[in-house]
Structure 1
Amino acid sequence: MDSITQAALGATIAGAVAGKQLGRSALLTGAVLGTLPDLDVVIDYGTAVANFTQHRGFSHSLFVLVPLAVILAGLLWHWRPQVSLARWLALTGLILVTHPILDTFTTYGTQLFWPIAPPLAISSIFIIDPLYTLPLLAGCVFFLARPPAMKVMAGALIVSTAYLGWSLAAQQIMTARVKPALAEAGLEDYRLLVQPMPFNTILWRATALTDDTRVEIVTGFLDGDGPLTLERFPRNPELRQQLLALPEVQRLEWFTGGFMQYNQNGNDITATDIRLGIPGAHPFTFVVAENTDDQLLPRGSTRLPRPALQPNATDLLWARIIGRAPVLCLSTLSLPGPGEGC
């Protein structure tokens, strides 16, 4: 999740656990601890792909964070002994462990059991979702006004956690909705990713991959009973097979679960994580090789600039979320006219 949400979650946990003993300083302590695992972004691993796939790595591993929580609890206990060691352990442990667990609910991927397991990505919540974050921020504001408000902080945690539970239920409902449409379209042996569109859990995006095609569906809870709109995007299986010999491409395939798109732009060979963003505006595209004299040559990966969204993208998304627009074409990020398809 975004840094504001992680800081708010850490502050809320600290207020609920030790707000009576620490007062308003509990919020600052919790916010700092809540953002601690994300400091790995300052580490340069040498290439763009390495930086992309190492983020949420060791710093989000339970094998690292649990011992770190014990160490920090001991240090904080010596700093503020009026808070018992057990309470400090609860505070540091809950904050440091809930950070990567919350990240696991997003699509990016979190190496919760680094170094012995691949990334986990439940993909039931967008990386920024106001409905998850606002109860936490409201609890913190109330705490600042009337400390210690520990019951209010606990209530904020219950509400935000219940919203996470709703996101899981919504994801299953949307999965059940799109599978019959994919079967009717003749898709077999596909990999399926169902995730919310930005900033909400009402409108969802389903991505189905086969070797040679990708199908995208946008559907939501406020849609009518009309048929689902399927958009097809060609893949390049021959290029993918050539690139799989490259270590950095292998790393990307491992990190994304294979949800990658490979293209040739001039002499540059690019690899795009198609899970994140939307077609035409995926934020993570890397140049991983170059085509010289019809020969693919690996190169240290670089990340291309993030494509800019069109100015009315937010308005289009909102119209689709509330059901005012029955179809949103991802290929052009546009709303087709009545009776038109994508």
Structure 2
Amino acid sequence: MDPLTQGVVGAVASQQPANRKNILVATILGFLSGLAPDLDIFIRSDKDPLLVLEFHRQFTHSLVFIPIGGLICATVFYYLFTKRNGFTFRKTYIFSTLGYATHGLLDSCTSYGTQLFWPFTDSRISWNTISIVDPLFTIPLLILILFTVIKNNKIFSRLALSWIVIYCIFGFIQQDRAKDIAKKIALSRGHIATNVLVKPSLANLFVWKIIYSTDNYYYVDAVKIALKSKMYKGSKINKLNVEESFPWLDLNSQQAKDLERFRWFSGDYLAISKKYPNRVIDIRYSILPNEIKGLWGIELDQKANQTSHIKYIFNRERNSDTINILWNMIIK
């Protein structure tokens, strides 16, 4: 999730055991601790562009690291400001740990993938029930935690906690409806669908991206799920076939290893860019949910040596009408 949402949800958690005397400090501790796990984005390498993908949402986001992460945050905050405000280290630790604990769980609700059970497995947990940015989720929470502090009344914090639960449940309900529709779409085309993935489009829980695979293709569509469902037809793309697309690639080269690392990161939802034949894209992500325009990918170089890494590419092509089209998909 975006940093603001992570901080706000962390603040909601830390407000729950707080009292009127310490509600402000508890809120600050929860907000800052809710941000802390994303400091792993600084684990990166100029030589290895995929290193950041391996470590982002890894150990700092795992369940077993929560007590340690909370301890690190508490130690820093205790000596920075809570000690001089009469807070015990124990209270600082409780509020910091509660804020820290929400981060990995919230990230797991998105589609990006979180190594929630590291070090026991490197599987990326993606419940796909909320967009990575969702103002309808975040703004009410922000208002409620501010009212909690300003009015010094925890009823607003209880309402915020209720909103989190309700919104997450709604996400699971919408996801279940999207899966049913995805299966019906596949059957209507005479397909036996595998690797079915449904995920909310940007900033809402009403328009969902649908991906499923057949033997050779990925099919991408979108559906609006409201009182009446509406399908937005997409397109299909060939699954990545390394032997066909990169016959020159030495499977022992660093580029081949990087390709497998990117496959792990993307859950194997990979295809060749229609515009750039040496670019492998992650088809899960696009601004418009019924399009196949990977927001990021990797680029291989036939002239590279055995030890050269791939290039990590962001798709910066933007159409000014894209957001308007998405907005119309949501409201109409």
Sort the TM-score into its range (normalised by shorter chain). Answer: 0.7 to 0.9
The answer on 1:103 being equivalent to 2:107 is yes
Counterpart AA for 1:145:
I
Q: CA 1:112–1:177 in 2, change beyond 3 Å: closer, same or farther?
A: same
2: CA distance, partners of 1:305 / 1:231: 22
Query: TM-score, normalization: structure 2?
Result: 0.84
1:304 positional shift:
2.1
In the alignment, which of 161, 167, 170 is matched to residue 166 of structure 1? 170
2: CA distance, partners of 1:108 / 1:122: 9
In the alignment, which of 136, 148, 162 is matched to residue 143 of structure 1? 148
2: CA distance, partners of 1:73 / 1:244: 49
2: CA distance, partners of 1:225 / 1:39: 40
Query: TM-score, normalization: structure 1?
Result: 0.82
Q: Over residues 280-311 of structure 1, what are the superposed CA-to-partner deviations in whole Å (9 max), with x where a residue is unaligned?
A: 64221122x2224xx99673122224323211
Q: CA 1:150–1:178 in 2, change beyond 3 Å: closer, same or farther?
A: same
2: CA distance, partners of 1:42 / 1:179: 40
Counterpart AA for 1:256:
S
Partner residue in 1 for 2:127: 122
The answer on 1:282 being equivalent to 2:294 is yes
The sequence identity of aligned pairs, in percent, is: 23
Contact in 1 for aligned 2:129/2:172 (Cα 8 Å): yes
1:74 positional shift:
7.0
Contact in 2 for aligned 1:290/1:297 (Cα 8 Å): no
CA RMSD of aligned residues (A): 2.9
1: CA distance, partners of 2:73 / 2:230: 55
Partner residue in 1 for 2:98: 94
Partner residue in 1 for 2:53: 52
1: CA distance, partners of 2:250 / 2:91: 49
1:54 positional shift:
2.1
Partner residue in 2 for 1:178: 182
Alignment gaps of 5+ in structure 2: none
Contact in 2 for aligned 1:261/1:272 (Cα 8 Å): yes
1: CA distance, partners of 2:188 / 2:74: 56
Contact in 2 for aligned 1:12/1:157 (Cα 8 Å): yes
Contact in 2 for aligned 1:109/1:119 (Cα 8 Å): yes
The within-5 A match list for 1:37-48 is 37-45=37-45, 46-48=47-49
Partner residue in 2 for 1:8: 8
In the alignment, which of 239, 263, 276 is matched to residue 253 of structure 1? 263
1:263 positional shift:
4.5
Q: Over residues 80-108 of structure 1, what are the superposed CA-to-partner deviations in whole Å (9 max), with x where a residue is unaligned?
A: 49657765454233221211000001011
SS at match of 2:130: coil
Contact in 2 for aligned 1:21/1:83 (Cα 8 Å): no
2: CA distance, partners of 1:311 / 1:139: 34
